[in-house]
Amino acid sequence: MALSNLSSYLDAVDNYSDYPDYSYEEPGGVATAPSHQPKDAARILSVVIYSVSCVLGILGNGLVIAIITLKMKKSVNAVWFLNLAVADFLFNIFLPINIAYTAMRYHWVFGTVMCKLNSFLLILNMYTSVLLLTTISLDRYVSVVFPVWAQNHRSTGLASAVCLLIWSLGVAMSCPALVFRDTAQARGSVICFSNFSLSRNGSQRAEALLRHRMVNVSRFLAGYVLPITVITFCYVAIVLNLRRNRLAKSRKPFKIIVSIIVTFFLCWSPYHLLNLLETEPDGIPRSVFEVSVPLTTALAASNSCMNPVLYVFMGQDFKKFKVTILSRLVNALSEETGHSSIVHRSFSKMSSMTEKETTVL
């Protein structure tokens, strides 16, 4: 492909994409020597974040998977946490590819098929994780607000069926990565990017921009706005219900709830907001994307290693429990802890049994 055609081609597809693809300069441009310090600093910091997330994610999520499958009796909580850990673990396994890509100044050496598959699995992790977290929130909401219904209908079979539906939805919503991700030569490097024009000649700029907007807006709505709205509603309802029924005797539940929601916002908000800005690249300097996309993507990726901490370890009071990490994990994942204890207490209260102190999450 001629350099002039490649230039128009890259312009036409608006190649700001889901993952950092900024290894090249515009072919045919004026030879200048701009400072690349911010861009390089962002790239190096991204490699560090990816590496830490990869190590912690594989260890943390791998430990959760091992404990649930080998040490625990099957329960609804175990089904939720197992699927969440598997989604994050899959993501972490493929993180070394992104680490290598970023460390090599965004030079893709793994081929077009792996470019598509890698991006597909990364987006699949995003959807399955956020849908699972939303489902966990709904499950806790139902268990607290409708304890009688939950006691009669909440089962591992239903939880497994819901998880199968979540994985199916995640696969369907991640398919655009298989369609649009592509590789191309650019100034001696190979980039893995989103080819929304589905061509190599730059003749479909309007169609490419429309596809880009549709993919990014739908991802913003389905992968961020709707889940965070449901999650926030569920936990607000849980807090109000606990206060009204005086089931919570400390501020600890509120701290855990706030930490979950705030961490979700911190990790995913910059990523999704930048995705929206990508649909209007002409109004924003290219340098902004070159620095911001690697950092926001790495920040979103770091959420996969934080989940074991947020949804498992923070559910236990480390100052009171003088036990091993393994015991803490078993206690946190057990059906006897978390919102199931609230259900048990609700039934005990309705049966005029002695009410005992409990915790949330």
Summarised one tens digit per residue, pLDDT across range 205-254 is 778 888 888 999 999 999 999 998 998 898 888 888 877 776 554 455 45
pLDDT at 200 over 90: no
Q: Is the pLDDT of residue 60 over 50?
A: yes
pTM: 0.76
Structural domain spans, the chain: 3-26+37-350
pLDDT of residue 18: 43
Mean per-residue pLDDT, 260-276:
83
Look at the domain 3-26+37-350 and name its fold: Rhopdopsin 7-helix transmembrane proteins (1.20.1070)
pLDDT at 195: 87
pLDDT band of residue 176 (cuts 50, 70, 90) is very high
In this prediction, residue 14 carries a pLDDT of 36
- Residue 361 banded pLDDT, cuts 50, 70, 90: very low
Evaluate if residue 347 carries a pLDDT over 70. no
pLDDT at residue 170 greater than cutoff 90: yes
Query: Range with the lowest mean pLDDT among 129-133, 150-154, 264-268, 321-325?
Result: 321-325
Quick check: 336 pLDDT over 50? no
Pairwise pLDDT comparison (221 vs 315), residue with the higher score: 221
Confidence of residue 285 (pLDDT cuts 50, 70, 90): confident
pLDDT, residue 197, reads: 82
Residue 175: pLDDT band with limits 50, 70, 90: very high
Given this model, what pLDDT does residue 36 score? 60
Q: Report, as an integer, the average pLDDT of 252-258.
A: 56
Q: What is the pLDDT of residue 131?
A: 92
Q: How confident is the model at residue 255 (pLDDT cuts 50, 70, 90)?
A: low
Mean predicted confidence (pLDDT) in 269-294? 82
> Looking at residue 109, what is its pLDDT?
92
What's the 3-state SS for the chain?
A: CCHHHHHHHHHHCCCCCCCCCCCCCCCCCCCCCCCCHHHHHHHHHHHHHHHHHHHHHHHHHHHHHHHHHHCCCCCHHHHHHHHHHHHHHHHHHHHHHHHHHHHCCCCCCCHHHHHHHHHHHHHHHHHHHHHHHHHHHHHHHHHHHCHHHHHHHCCHHHHHHHHHHHHHHHHHHHHHHHHHEEEEEECCEEEEEECCCCCCCCCCHHHHHHHHHHHHHHHHHHHHHHHHHHHHHHHHHHHHHHHHHCCCCCCHHHHHHHHHHHHHHHHHHHHHHHHHHHCCHHHCCHHHHHHHHHHHHHHHHHHHHHHHHHHCHHHCCCCCCCCCHHHHHHHHHCCCCCHHHHHHHHHHHHCCCCCCCCCCC
Using the predicted structure, report yes or no on whether residue 145 has a pLDDT greater than 50: yes
